[in-house]
Amino acid sequence: MDKYIIEGGAPLYGSVRVQSAKNAVLPLLAASVLTEERVIIRRCPRICDVLHMTEILGELGCKTRFEGDALVIDGADAANHEIPAALAKEMRSSVFLLGSVVARFGKARIAYPGGCDIGLRPVDLHLKGLRRLNVRVEEEGGYINCASDRLKGAEIVLDCPSVGATENIMLASVKGEGTTVLRNAAKEPEIRDLQDFLNRMGAKVRGAGTGTVRIEGVRALHGVEYTPMPDRIEAGTFLIAAAMCGGEIAVEGASAENLAALIDKLREISCKIAVKDDKIYIKSDGERRSLRLIETMPYPGFPTDLQAPATALACICEGSAVIVENLFETRFKHVPELIRMGADVVVRGRAAFVRGVPALHGADVAAGDLRGGAALTLAAISAEGRSTVTDLSHIDRGYSGFEYKLAALGAKIRRIRV
């Protein structure tokens, strides 16, 4: 098991380029099943979730390999429709394969998916949408079995704008008969990226990024070479790191539009931010006014994936702040670890009440999930003294070379195997 050894307190300077978005790449890998032709994903991050997904694709019969930073998927020999339980339980995003596998093979079987323990995240909306597309769905013994003789377009209204359900319904319907109209769809930028990817494969999808997505079914899809969008959550993580540590950095390959909710909060606490093309510049002199209130919301609201790093930031801001988590019910697992570092935080239900302290101090802490692990790392590089962060497997699910990028900016962080 690896851990970080961190000597905190160093300001950050320099530039960092963000990877392609984890939350975009995983649905693209699921979409690759829809064609027998070769798919190439450029600038594909070698994070654990991507590697797990390639294992699942391999079980389906796809051949995958990395060529430099490009992931090549050849689905010509894919024939299996079952996703093994051991792999499905490793990651939540395996559920995306339901739509694409049933669209390719007419049937799919998957164990209930796993991933970070941040709440229930039921798949009911996914299954409701698939049923509307003429998919027979049976749940038994911890498995979901899907079958359809012919996928048919339908009018579907989501009970809430679920990102996963929106993407799964898009994947299932692109080769269906007729037109599917999906209302109350999620609006995240990663959904627009999936639309662009599918359309490059020959699909007819429009409206992604709005509340209504229309999909006209086509008979077949072809191969594609594609570069996914940059990771807005990784970009936001580095912006928060600079706000916490002080200094001046440039985050390259990022979209300020996709991070508007975070940038507004960083300016609110007195960080100076400038944007030029795909670069976001942030300068922090270490004086941080109160964050006051953050509420996670579906896009374009404040992203739930940045709630944990933002909570760490609030711990060293002036005054008090309230952090409200509206999307997941158990996403404050990092708080007890922050308290070990001297934070003053009380959690009541879906809200964390934070009173800022002058500084955090070093401590031995453990990552309990992906974004909580990133938050603890940021807390440690900004704290006074020495910290260790363990259970890095969570962080590795979404960040590639996290410690190297932070070290290149001046953080005193190293990874050791124990």
- Taking 80 as the threshold, does the pLDDT of residue 92 lie above it? no
As to burial, measured by CB atoms within 10 angstroms (0-12 exposed, 13-18 middle, 19+ buried), residue 294 is: buried
Q: Report the sign of the C-alpha dihedral through residues 291, 297, 303, 304, in that order.
A: positive
Q: Residue 118 has what pLDDT?
A: 36
pLDDT tens-digit profile of 166-180? 999 999 999 999 999
- Taking 80 as the threshold, does the pLDDT of residue 113 lie above it? no
Catalytic site residue 116? yes
Contact present, 287 and 52 (Cβ < 8 Å): no
For residues 400 and 408, what is the distance between their CA atoms, to the nearest angstrom? 14
Q: What is the mean pLDDT of the chain?
A: 95
DSSP state of 118: S
- Taking 90 as the threshold, does the pLDDT of residue 86 lie above it? no
pLDDT tens-digit profile of 361-381? 999 999 999 999 999 999 999
Contact present, 308 and 330 (Cβ < 8 Å): no
* Of the candidates 42, 48, 49, 46, the residue with the CA atom closest to the CA atom of residue 27: 49
- Taking 50 as the threshold, does the pLDDT of residue 120 lie above it? no
Tokens of 90: 């490793």
Are β-strands 143-147 and 136-140 bridged in parallel, bridged antiparallel, or unpaired? antiparallel
What are the residue ranges spanned by the domains of the chain? 2-19+230-417, 22-226
Claim: this prediction has a pTM higher than 0.75: yes
- Taking 90 as the threshold, does the pLDDT of residue 90 lie above it? no
Instruction: Out of 62, 116, 271, 317, pick the active-site residue.
Output: 116
For residues 88 and 375, what is the distance between their CA atoms, to the nearest angstrom? 26
Mean pLDDT of 186-210: 98
* 146: alpha, beta or left? (left if phi > 0; alpha if psi -120 to 50): beta
- Taking 60 as the threshold, does the pLDDT of residue 114 lie above it? no
CATH topology match: 2-19+230-417 vs 22-226: yes
Token pair 């380029």 is found at: 17
Answer with the residue of higher pLDDT: 361 or 87: 361
Beta bridge partners of 79: none
For residues 8 and 365, what is the distance between their CA atoms, to the nearest angstrom? 14
Pick the CATH number of 2-19+230-417 from 1.10.3720.10, 3.20.20.70, 3.30.1300.10, 3.65.10.10: 3.65.10.10
CATH of domain 22-226: 3.65.10.10
- Taking 70 as the threshold, does the pLDDT of residue 240 lie above it? yes
Tokens of 46: 């070698």
Token pair 């070479």 is found at: 225
Q: With bands split at pLDDT 50, 70 and 90, how would you rate the model's confidence at 89?
A: confident
Tokens of 168: 């799964």
Cα separations in angstroms, 211 against 123, 297, 311, 346: 20, 15, 29, 36
| Amino acid at residue number 300 | P
For residues 312 and 376, what is the distance between their CA atoms, to the nearest angstrom? 7
Mean pLDDT of 125-142: 93
- At residue 135, the 3 state secondary structure works out as coil
- Taking 80 as the threshold, does the pLDDT of residue 82 lie above it? yes
For residues 245 and 286, what is the distance between their CA atoms, to the nearest angstrom? 7
Q: With bands split at pLDDT 50, 70 and 90, how would you rate the model's confidence at 122?
A: low
For residues 202 and 222, what is the distance between their CA atoms, to the nearest angstrom? 6
Angle at the Cα of 211 from the Cα atoms of 214 and 91, rounded to 5 degrees: 85
Q: With bands split at pLDDT 50, 70 and 90, how would you rate the model's confidence at 116?
A: very low
